Amino acid sequence: MKNRTLTAHAAIVFCAAVSSAWGAPGSTVLTGTVADPAGKPVAHAKVDVQDASGASVSTSNTDSSGHFAISGVAPGTYAVVVTAPGFASGSSIATAQSGAPASVSVQLQKSDALDVQVNAQRLNTARNGLLPETGSSVYRFTQADIDTMPAGANTPLNQVLLQAPGVANDSYGQLHVRGEHANLQYRINGIIIPEPISGFGQSLDTRIIDQLNLLTGALPAQYGYRTAGIVDIRTKSGDTGSGGSVDVFGGSHGTIRTSADVFGSQGPFSYYLSGSLGMNNLGIENPTASANAIHDHTRQGNAFGYLSYLINPLTRVSLLFGATSNQFEIPNTPGLPTNFALNGHSTFDSSQLNETQSELNNFAAIALQGTNGAALDYQVAFFTRYTRTKFNPDPIGDLMFNGVASEDFHSNTANGVQVDTTWRLNDSHTVRAGLFFQQEHAVFDNNVSVFPADENGNQLSDIPFNIQDSSSKTGYLYSLYAQDEWKLTDRLTMNYGLRYDRMDEYTSASQLSPRVGLVYTLTPTTTVHAGYARYFTPPPFELVSGSTISKFDGTTNQSPSSQNAPVQPERSHYFDLGITQKLGPAVTLGLDAYYKKSTDLLDEGQFGSALIYTPFNYQYGKTYGVEFTANYKQNNISAYLNLAYSRAQGKQISSAQFNFDPEELAFISSHWVFLDHDQRVTASFGAAYDFYRTTFTFDGIVGSGLRSGFANTDRLPVYAQFNLGVIQHFNEPMIGKFDARVLIVNAFNRVYELRDGSGIGVGAPQYGPHFSVYAGVTKYF
């Protein structure tokens, strides 16, 4: 096909050469139309008029009707060559005569799958260009990086992120980035995915990731609401071909997990689908130091899909959707004494408690994304999310141990729209602007069993009674942003802009936030970045309850304080400064320092018997730290090391005070205290070595210990965890490609305690995993 095209083009040029001798003086207008085989006009096609030698004498582009007109064409015979994205090139002969317009018609044939891939990649590049990074700190994980981790794609997303700098580990799968409690924003293919109700399981499967970027620091105006870190996920797709995989993974703690994904394309339509099901007996961290937890079974499943259709070479519509369903048993601690009597009984075996929690998170988004191929890129997305969490108490045991048994159901529905645009004014200025709107509806339905009690909390009767505590609320978030990425010189780029945010939820508030970021290339191997951001962070609406605490006065669930000021949005000033240095082609070093000053600093704690978090504010907050990163990659060896130092402190509880004891409230009102998730030193590291078809890999984390004790005045001991893995790559006749892997978690069996049950908002102790062995096989097709 290619040879025939070249032959035809050569013949056209030859005809033009023979005819050119008959040209006459003067000029004329050359017009024409370009259409596809169905007769539909082809807009934005490039028209190239070539003379007898094959040299271009004039160019133009078709309009929206597929027409073009080129004036000032000298008399003669020319080859008119037309190209357009998504089409094979076409051509025609045109003979121009003095004083008489010439006209041609060119038909373009649809291109093959390769052009579809080129168009998809063009749109991917345009979509990625909607997300600036100037002035912020970025840490990237590729699909290959994830595959070489000891557990590969079976690594939970939170554990992947633990390998980034400044990310501290906590119980229940929580993460703390740069000394902040959660406050992470997840984006999939540029679309914000509303946060689920906090739980134990991960809402997104690592398997879907093609590339993962973690943005921290002083973020451009594009990013708001959740700003401790932007988890930017670019998913796999079917744009580049067809295939898939099936994976079986299992081992210690009764672990078994099966997963599969499939991807492909048919003309302009492409798809990627993924799903997994699994179970194990270590769903939540063990509250004791024993190797095996009691009553800790979990069943987890998730599904994800990404569908894309190229409307034309410059426009596509895509649909992404996901669902996660997790069930957990709450692990028990044996030998605990009861605190309350029930119907004449005062003993209960704490190892036989039967608390459970179920979690569901569904989301979907449809997006129209396009580019004009030159100056304008855009994406308009509509999204929806439904999440719910249900805690089921042990109705007898919880009453006898806690004096309250609460069946808690929380749900939240979010719907909204997100618009992002990029306009390249010229080589120096790229303007980005957009808007975001979200409506949420939260439902809280709690059925609470309690005992009557006196003013000191002493039980007055061993006969419990029920209190229904239900509420619901609808809230709204709005935002607008505009920013300019200005290339002042070849070495210096500045991104400056403004962002406006407003919330109408349990409270109403707004803020206009300036942002500025600079990137300066000192030398070809040295880059400096700096930034300032004003942040506005609403409390997580799905966790802020409208519960009336006075309902529980005179019961064993009475709050220690009657104060209950509404939770406010956090407002902060953020400063960031960093440098990146390349030492040859193999080594990259980075150093980054940050400082954040806050009012109404947001934090979360577990204050009730249900394992659902509650937000509250410190009137004042300050967080600062420094991060060091080192990466090595050469031939068959790769390695990385991240080391971070941070301090996170707050003063004076200013909302949801009823959750705190009076002594603690009084102390915090006059003292700067460390936040419960403050960890002074955090490190992560790893390496991989490829030896023929075998990959040897390891990774690990080290922490100086989270806070504990009265008002977080103490801290837990230093801990460390090392994981080892071996991956064997096969390519066998009749079977094809498949991988087998064996991994060891906590290879040196260092038993460590993440939490001891003390500290602000800490409900129970949790220990890290013991020495465990797992294996898996992945078949590719």
Residues 6+ positions from 666 with CB-CB distance below 8 Å: none
Residues 6+ positions from 542 with CB-CB distance below 8 Å: 195, 196, 197, 387, 410, 412, 440, 442
Interatomic CA distance for residues 781 and 776, integer angstroms:
17
Q: What are phi and psi of 374, to 5 degrees?
A: -135, -70
Q: Confirm whether 606 is domain-assigned.
A: yes
Shortest CA distance to 184 belongs to which of 207, 208, 168? 168
Boundary (domain end) residue, out of 77, 111, 145: 111
pLDDT at position 608: 64
- Count of domains forming the chain: 2
Residue-by-residue DSSP string for 666-692: HHHHHS-EE-TT--SEEEEEEEEEEET
Q: Which amino acid is at 223?
A: Y
Shortest CA distance to 719 belongs to which of 693, 692, 756? 756
Least trusted range by pLDDT, from 164-178, 194-208, 562-576, 730-744: 194-208
Residues 330 and 204 both lie in one domain: yes
Q: Confirm whether 154 is domain-assigned.
A: yes
Q: Confirm whether 120 is domain-assigned.
A: no
Least trusted range by pLDDT, from 404-408, 608-612, 770-774: 608-612
Q: Confirm whether 310 is domain-assigned.
A: yes
pTM of the model: 0.84
Residues 103 and 146 both lie in one domain: no
| 26 vs 163, higher pLDDT | 163
pLDDT at position 218: 96
Any idea what the Cα angle at residue 561 is, between residues 560 and 562, rounded to 5°? Answer: 135
Average pLDDT over residues 32-49: 89
Interatomic CA distance for residues 659 and 670, integer angstroms:
18
Q: Are 91 and 81 in contact (CB under 8 A)?
A: yes
Average pLDDT over residues 45-71: 88
Which CATH number does the domain housing residue 100 bear?
A: 2.60.40.10
Give the C-alpha distances (Å, rounded to integers) separating 578 from 14, 109, 226, 291, 311.
61, 51, 22, 42, 42
Q: What is the pLDDT of residues 103-156, one digit of tens each?
A: 899 988 766 555 667 677 777 877 777 888 887 889 999 999 999 999 999 999
Look-up: residue for tokens 């093609």? 210
Strands 175-177 and 167-169 come out as antiparallel
Which CATH number does the domain housing residue 250 bear?
A: 2.40.170.20
Residues 6+ positions from 669 with CB-CB distance below 8 Å: 651, 652, 653
Q: What is the pLDDT of residues 186-195, one digit of tens each?
A: 999 999 998 8
| 94 vs 671, higher pLDDT | 671
Q: Are 220 and 483 in contact (CB under 8 A)?
A: yes
Residues 36 and 169 both lie in one domain: no
Q: Confirm whether 284 is domain-assigned.
A: yes
Q: Are 778 and 257 in contact (CB under 8 A)?
A: no
pLDDT tops 80 at residue 80:
yes
Residues 55 and 152 both lie in one domain: no
Q: Are 645 and 680 in contact (CB under 8 A)?
A: yes
pLDDT at position 124: 81
Interatomic CA distance for residues 502 and 509, integer angstroms:
6
Q: Report the mean per-residue pLDDT for the chain.
A: 90
Label residue 761 exposed, middle or buried (CB < 10 Å: 0-12, 13-18, 19+).
buried
Containing structural domain, residue 437? 137-780
3-state secondary structure of 158: helix
pLDDT at position 1: 41
Residue burial 490-509, b: 16+ Cβ < 10 Å; e: rest? eeebbbbbebbbbbebbbee
Q: Confirm whether 76 is domain-assigned.
A: yes
Residues 89 and 149 both lie in one domain: no
pLDDT at position 26: 67
pLDDT tops 50 at residue 23:
no
Boundary (domain end) residue, out of 94, 111, 128: 111
Q: Confirm whether 432 is domain-assigned.
A: yes
Q: What is the pLDDT of residues 498-513, one digit of tens each?
A: 999 999 999 999 999 9
Q: What is the pLDDT of residues 228-240, one digit of tens each?
A: 999 999 999 998 7
Q: How many CB atoms lie within 10 A of CB 126?
A: 20
Residues 6+ positions from 21 with CB-CB distance below 8 Å: none
Give the C-alpha distances (Å, rounded to integers) separating 134 from 64, 138, 187, 333, 493.
35, 10, 18, 49, 8
Q: Are 619 and 599 in contact (CB under 8 A)?
A: yes
Residues 141 and 81 both lie in one domain: no
Residues 446 and 581 both lie in one domain: yes
Give the C-alpha distances (Å, rounded to integers) separating 615 from 183, 545, 569, 649.
11, 9, 11, 16
Q: How many CB atoms lie within 10 A of CB 5?
A: 13
Q: Which amino acid is at 256?
A: I
Residues 659 and 710 both lie in one domain: yes
Q: Are 362 and 323 in contact (CB under 8 A)?
A: yes
Residues 68 and 198 both lie in one domain: no
Q: What is the pLDDT of residues 298-340, one digit of tens each?
A: 999 999 999 999 998 889 999 999 999 999 999 999 999 999 9
Any idea what the Cα angle at residue 209 is, between residues 208 and 210, rounded to 5°? Answer: 125
Residues 195 and 107 both lie in one domain: no
Give the C-alpha distances (Å, rounded to integers) separating 270 from 130, 181, 238, 592.
22, 38, 5, 40
Interatomic CA distance for residues 155 and 143, integer angstroms:
12
Show the tokens assigned to 695: 């990959």
- What percent of the chain stands above pLDDT 70? 94
3-state secondary structure of 22: helix
Residues 95 and 149 both lie in one domain: no
CA atoms 333, 338, 341, 344: torsion sign: positive
Shortest CA distance to 294 belongs to which of 308, 284, 306, 279? 284
Show the tokens assigned to 542: 């799905």
Interatomic CA distance for residues 759 and 705, integer angstroms:
13
Q: Confirm whether 126 is domain-assigned.
A: no
Residues 104 and 165 both lie in one domain: no
pLDDT at position 610: 60
